[in-house]
């Protein structure tokens, strides 16, 4: 039975999806993939924003796949109307990897779209399988599920320290067992007693994925222009999009935001973003901190990845750093947060209620590696206070 015919009988755990795309080829592929997936139910499709809005009002889908460029009403014009018509719906923008597609996608994410998926350009079927995996993975991550109670931001349990490593294995590691809230005294191998960082962090390291661009905007807006620490970011995003993200964040805040360049010195009051398809790590020499870019294999299926960035920051600062893990699916950042905390650093994660997906911050919190779990609206202020030496 097709998803269209069976949507009324679908289990409440199966997400109901509406596809809005003017391309018959792209629309046909997406609808077929969704119908074939047992976790998703296709409830309808539309050829433009106007038709998509009418069907959304009628069908009340859980998820909408929204093309960027369409006749009559494009994706950017339809987005706020769809969010108003079905407030509980999560919208995934489908965009080609072009400068225009990237610009519109970043704008859509800042307007409330939950995520995006890159589409192969017309006539290029080579990227179809990657598109399928990205689309279905993101739809499933955004599917509505019961939300368990959120732990208090002051009731965080640190994990027992483990030996530190600079580069993580690509294989997931088991979460550390939570312990009662207490100062960390057990040391990683070869080191003295671990103490929590005091004073100003030398570097702020941020990791984010699904929902990240919108969350980052909220954080960056609250960072003062006279910030005295450099900031580094790994956002799961393809090449070209990260450059556009940097431009939008610069306009939104008071600090400069830019793609990091290999061997570039890190200056205070600047956010350095890992370019799409490159890992970003930080090193230190007599001249200070500098960025290193590489295309070593993906970690946690991601390049850039958060784990190697956090681990390198912990090494370069000897633990005098603040890690921030924002919304995103998966567990990238958990192993890096463990290294950072074991060296005396501090970790803040976004809470479940304000996260588009509580995968990454949730993995850190559930492993007992978060010093604080905060709603998004409080994270930028908390980072700014720690930059000034506040706790």
Alpha carbon distance 21, 75 (integer Å): 9
Residue of 38, 47, 82, 80 whose CA lies nearest to 61: 82
The structure tokens listed for 117 are 């998926």
Catalytic residue among 209, 335, 351, 371: 209
Alpha carbon distance 362, 188 (integer Å): 24
Alpha carbon distance 336, 168 (integer Å): 8
Q: State how beta strands 321-325 and 346-350 pair.
A: parallel
Catalytic residue among 37, 307, 332, 351: 332
Distance of CA 181 to the CA centre of its chain: 28
Identify the DSSP state of 127: G
Helices (H) and strands (E) in the chain, counts: 12, 14
Is 279 designated active site? no
Containing 164, the helix (H) or strand (E) segment is: none
Alpha carbon distance 372, 347 (integer Å): 7
Distance in Å from the first CA to the final CA of the chain: 57
Catalytic residue among 7, 208, 218, 236: 236
Q: Where are the alpha helices (DSSP H) in the chain?
A: 3-6, 24-36, 49-59, 75-85, 99-111, 128-142, 212-220, 241-252, 306-317, 334-342, 360-366, 376-387
Alpha carbon distance 4, 40 (integer Å): 11
Output Rg (C-alpha) for the chain, integer angstroms: 21
Q: What are phi and psi for residue 191, nearest 5 degrees?
A: -125, 165
Side-by-side strand order, sheet with 40-46: 40-46, 15-20, 63-67, 90-96, 115-119
Instruction: Name the residue with tokens 């230190």.
Output: 284
Coil/strand/helix, residue 176: coil
Q: Which residues are catalytic?
A: 209, 236, 332
């Amino acid at each position: 039975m097709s998803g269209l015919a069976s949507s009324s009988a679908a289990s409440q755990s199966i997400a109901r999806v509406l596809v809005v795309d003017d391309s018959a080829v792209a629309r046909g592929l997406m609808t077929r993939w969704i119908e074939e997936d047992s976790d998703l139910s296709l409830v309808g499709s539309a050829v433009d924003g106007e038709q998509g809005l009418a069907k959304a009002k009628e069908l009340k889908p859980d998820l909408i796949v929204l093309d960027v460029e369409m006749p009559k009403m494009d994706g950017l014009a339809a987005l706020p109307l769809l969010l108003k018509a079905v407030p509980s719906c999560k919208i995934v923008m489908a965009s080609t990897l072009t400068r225009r597609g990237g610009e519109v996608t970043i704008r859509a994410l800042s307007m409330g779209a939950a995520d995006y998926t890159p589409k192969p350009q017309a006539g290029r079927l080579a990227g179809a399988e990657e598109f399928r995996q990205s689309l279905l993975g993101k739809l499933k991550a955004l599917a509505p599920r019961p939300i368990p109670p959120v732990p208090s931001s002051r009731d965080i349990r640190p994990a027992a320290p483990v030996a530190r490593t600079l580069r993580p294995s690509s294989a997931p590691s088991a979460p550390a067992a939570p312990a009662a809230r207490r100062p960390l005294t057990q040391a990683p191998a070869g080191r003295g007693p671990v103490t929590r960082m005091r004073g100003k962090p030398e570097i702020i390291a941020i990791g984010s994925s699904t929902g990240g661009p919108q969350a980052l905007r909220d954080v960056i807006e609250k960072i003062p222009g006279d910030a005295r620490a450099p900031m580094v970011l790994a956002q799961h995003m393809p090449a070209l999009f990260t450059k556009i993200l940097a431009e939008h964040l610069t306009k939104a805040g008071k600090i400069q935001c830019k793609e990091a360049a290999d061997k570039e010195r890190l200056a205070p009051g600047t956010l350095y973003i890992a370019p799409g398809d490159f890992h970003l790590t930080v090193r230190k020499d007599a001249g200070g901190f500098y960025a290193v870019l590489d295309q070593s294999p993906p970690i946690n299926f991601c390049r850039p990845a958060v784990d190697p960035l956090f681990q390198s920051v912990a090494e370069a600062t000897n633990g005098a750093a603040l890690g921030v893990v924002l919304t995103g699916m998966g567990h990238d950042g958990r192993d890096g947060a463990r290294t950072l905390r074991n060296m005396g650093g501090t970790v803040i994660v976004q809470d479940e209620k304000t996260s588009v997906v509580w995968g990454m911050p949730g993995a850190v919190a559930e492993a007992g590696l978060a010093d604080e779990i905060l709603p998004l609206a409080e994270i930028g202020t908390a980072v700014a206070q720690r930059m000034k030496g506040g706790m």
